Amino acid sequence: MKRLAFSIVALTALHALPAHAIDCKKASTSIERRICADKPLRQADAAMGAAYARILKASQDPEIRAMLIESQKHWLARRDLRLDQEDETEGADDSGEEAPKNNLLKAIEARTSDLAEFSKADAKLPRLIEIALKQRRFNAQFTGGPFAGYSADCDFLPSGNDQIYTCLGTRTYQNKDRVCSVTTDFATNALYTTQTVAEVADDKLKTVATCGDENGNSPCPDGQPSADRRWTLQPAATANASGTNTPSPKISADLGEDEDSPWLRACLIDKSYPLADPASDGSRK
């Protein structure tokens, strides 16, 4: 019975995996047909599929494998949404060279590069898996809790004439009843970062202070004397305390390595921060 149950789970997980590469005999969407009709795109897709298969094989950790699968599924969904209608009419660029499918080809090649990259410290360890392991080690310094986690928001963003796959979002850390988060958003062709300090009270988050680029916050302290750079204490109720009813994943290689910044460490281990000195960036003097 146990063996049968394991087989059912394994088959379910297998069917949940995004395809390693497009089966052109079964291409059903316009972007799949477009890729299959073009040799360079078809070869690039095959290379990406092979890289994806290798990185899945490199980890038997269920949480890391789930992270990799979800990441690839999201990339494919965004590819279909953002790049399906691009460059459908072939033409030439200013240099006279063929310019169709450039963004799609570049996107597939960039994704393949991300999947195939290895750690500089361990030539056998895929970089995305290394990032997830480092995130675990970083968070192990603190108690963690239901509010801790990573909420990635990945999409193709404009960069000149290109569309670059970029992952922004919120990293939330918890130590006992202290919850500290940093959120990066994209709007009006610019990146905005907001840092938030909150406390858990009655299983809910109460925002203590914010700083950054949004919601009328002051710019965050950076360790240099400045009358403008300071935490906004007891911000408006609309300020983001990064608390949701749905737990966020505990790892997300899409968001990259954690930054062990002075403000974050002070936020998590010193309950007087930043109330005692709103102009402090958390550095020990």
Residues in Cβ contact with 272 at an 8 Å cutoff, skipping those fewer than 6 apart: none
What tokens were used for 76?
């494919």
**Cβ-based neighbours of 200, under 8 Å, separated by 6 or more:** 145, 147, 174, 177, 178, 179, 206
Which residues are CB-neighbours of 8 under 8 A, at least 6 positions away?
none
Structure tokens at 280: 């402090």
pLDDT at 88 over 60: no
Percent share of the chain, pLDDT over 90: 71
What pLDDT score does 1 carry? Answer: 37
Q: What does the domain layout of the chain look like in residue ranges?
A: 17-88+100-116, 144-269
- Chain position carrying tokens 């949701």: 244
> Is the pLDDT score of 33 beyond 70?
yes
- What tens digit of pLDDT does each residue of 185-202 get? 998 888 899 999 999 999
CB 169 within 8 A of CB 151: yes
DSSP 135-172: HHHHHTTS---TT-EEEEEEEEEEETTEEEEEEEEEEE
CA 160 vs. chain centroid, Å, equals 22
CA contacts within 13 A on the Cβ side of 22: 24
The answer to whether the CB of 279 falls within 8 A of the CB of 230 is yes
Nearest CA-CA partner of 262 in 246, 248, 244, 274: 274
Is the pLDDT at 11 greater than 50? The verdict is no
Report pTM: 0.86
Q: What is the pLDDT of residues 206-215, one digit of tens each?
A: 999 999 986 6
Q: Give CA angle at 268 (264, 273), nearest 5°.
A: 80
Above pLDDT 70, what percent of the chain? 82
DSSP state of 94: T
How far apart, in whole angstroms, are the C-alpha atoms of residue 152 and residue 31? 25
Q: Is the pLDDT of residue 270 over 60?
A: yes
Q: How many C-beta atoms surround the C-beta of residue 183 within 10 A?
A: 22
3-state secondary structure of 177: coil
Q: Residue ranges of the alpha helices (H) in 84-228?
A: 102-116, 127-139
Q: Which pair of tokens denotes residue 58?
A: 């490199």
Give the model's pLDDT for residue 85: 66
